[in-house]
Amino acid sequence: MRRFGLIFLAVAAFAQQKTADIHVLPVQGNIYMLVGAGGNIAASVGPDGILLVDAGTSQMSAKVLSTVLQLVTAVAASPSPNRCTGLHCSDSPYRWSSPSLNALIASPAPPKPIRYIINTGIDPDHTGGNEALSALPADSKILGVTFPPVGVAPTATVIAHENVLGRMSAEINGKPAVASGLWPTDTYRGTSYKLSEFFNGEGVQLFHEPAAHTDGDSMVYFRYSDVIAAGDILSTTSYPVIDLAKGGTIQGALAGLNHILDLAIPEFRSQGGTLVIPGHGRLCDTGDVANYRNMVAIIKDRVEDMVKKGMTLQQVKAAKPTLEYDGLYGATTGPWTTDMFVEAVYKSLSPKH
């Protein structure tokens, strides 16, 4: 009960809620941003249940599940919306049975389950939780509530671009590259894909970015909440991660960022309005994406100019084409260093590649 109370407070106060290592940031409309599970997760939470954009790492699945179930209980499982001020209810002549009192005394409905998981890409920090979050044992009990509720199919639909499935299921030494439990159950192959019906009262649209981080990136656009989950096309903590081996390019990364800016409409003066959840880092809007896009475009132009002049990769690195941005996005250690980024840009633009 105490935990329920906390989450109610957090949602009401429009503040972030910490559950273990998962932080919840209410974004706008139905959408919440979950931070700390690997890649950022966007969650649509409402009367239809839960839709997750990305699933975090496998190690964080239990915490992700616990967090989203608390969220859906707090947001959508209350007996009825409370539109009363004190006990004065315009929509009820009966003081003693007003929605206000019902909200206090009634038990919450069982939380609706995770219905969809959409993968923005193939990486394990975005897909590692697919199996655990989509295929739960029928008798699972979380916070004392049977999950999933009786009569609801026990698996969520996992959607991704077909290139994600292709790369996950590709055989390496006689075995699939990724265990089948993590594969998407449904794929699309066009430039965009729409869920066939509203979810939590809004349309959900996917856009394929054909050669950005990889060749299987999707952006997810919540059309009423006006939120874009950008996956690894956008990060505020690093240079774009360009996986050349999986079809990524700097040109595609830039095209993806420009696509976000095409879709987004600021509320006022390049701020607010459409909000963008990056694959990693903080919640963004038009101004942030424009700043990041400019950085990517400037570095691409510099390296392209050096490639045209016939400079070698070592010469390009020595010229420090990223100098002023290293303090914001650079790294000398870890999975994606500045050197690796410059090399990926160079190879993307080099005719020999």
Partner 1 sequence: MRFLHPAQIPLLLLVLISAVAACSPVFGQGAPVLELTDFSGVWAERVHEDSYERSGGPPLGDYQGIPLNDAGRRKADSHDHSEWSLPEFQCRPHSAPYQWRALGSVRFWNEVDPIGRDLRAIHVEYLRSLDRVIYMDGRPHPPEYAPYSWSGFSTGKWEGNTLVVDTDHIKGSYLRRNGASFSDKATMREYIDRHGEYLVITMILTDPVWLEEPLIQTTNYALDTHTALTYYPCTVSEENISSAVPHFLPGTTEHLKDAAGWIPPEAARGGAETTYPDYRQKLKQAAKQ
Interacting residue ranges for partner 1, rule: CB under 8 A: 16, 23, 25, 33, 35, 236, 258, 261, 266, 268-272, 275, 281-291, 293-294, 297-298, 301-302, 305, 319, 321, 323-324, 326-328
CB neighbourhood size of 188 (10 A): 16
The 3-state DSSP class for residue 82 equals coil
Q: 56, 39 in Cβ contact below 8 A?
A: yes
> Cβ 86 to partner 1, closest distance in Å?
15
CA distances in angstroms from 173 to 16, 166, 168, 170, 182, listed in the order given: 45, 16, 13, 10, 19
> Cβ 106 to partner 1, closest distance in Å?
31
> Cβ 270 to partner 1, closest distance in Å?
5
> Cβ 274 to partner 1, closest distance in Å?
12
> Cβ 315 to partner 1, closest distance in Å?
13
Rg (CA), the chain: 22
Looking at the Cβ atoms of 22 and 195, the one nearer to partner 1 is: 22
> Cβ 21 to partner 1, closest distance in Å?
13
Strands (E), 37-185: 41-46, 49-53, 114-118, 140-142, 145-147, 157-161, 171-172, 175-176
> Cβ 300 to partner 1, closest distance in Å?
9
Q: Which of 198, 199, 196, 220 is nearest to 208 (CA)?
A: 220
Looking at the Cβ atoms of 42 and 206, the one nearer to partner 1 is: 42
Looking at the Cβ atoms of 169 and 291, the one nearer to partner 1 is: 291
Can you name the residues that pair with 146 across neighbouring β-strands?
141
Looking at the Cβ atoms of 191 and 237, the one nearer to partner 1 is: 237
> Cβ 123 to partner 1, closest distance in Å?
19
Looking at the Cβ atoms of 62 and 298, the one nearer to partner 1 is: 298
Looking at the Cβ atoms of 13 and 143, the one nearer to partner 1 is: 13
Looking at the Cβ atoms of 34 and 158, the one nearer to partner 1 is: 34
For CA atoms 72, 233, 224, 202, give the dihedral sign: negative
Looking at the Cβ atoms of 125 and 243, the one nearer to partner 1 is: 125
Q: 306, 315 in Cβ contact below 8 A?
A: yes
Omega prior to 149 cis, within 30 of 0: no
Rounded to 5°, angle at Cα 137 from 176 and 46:
100
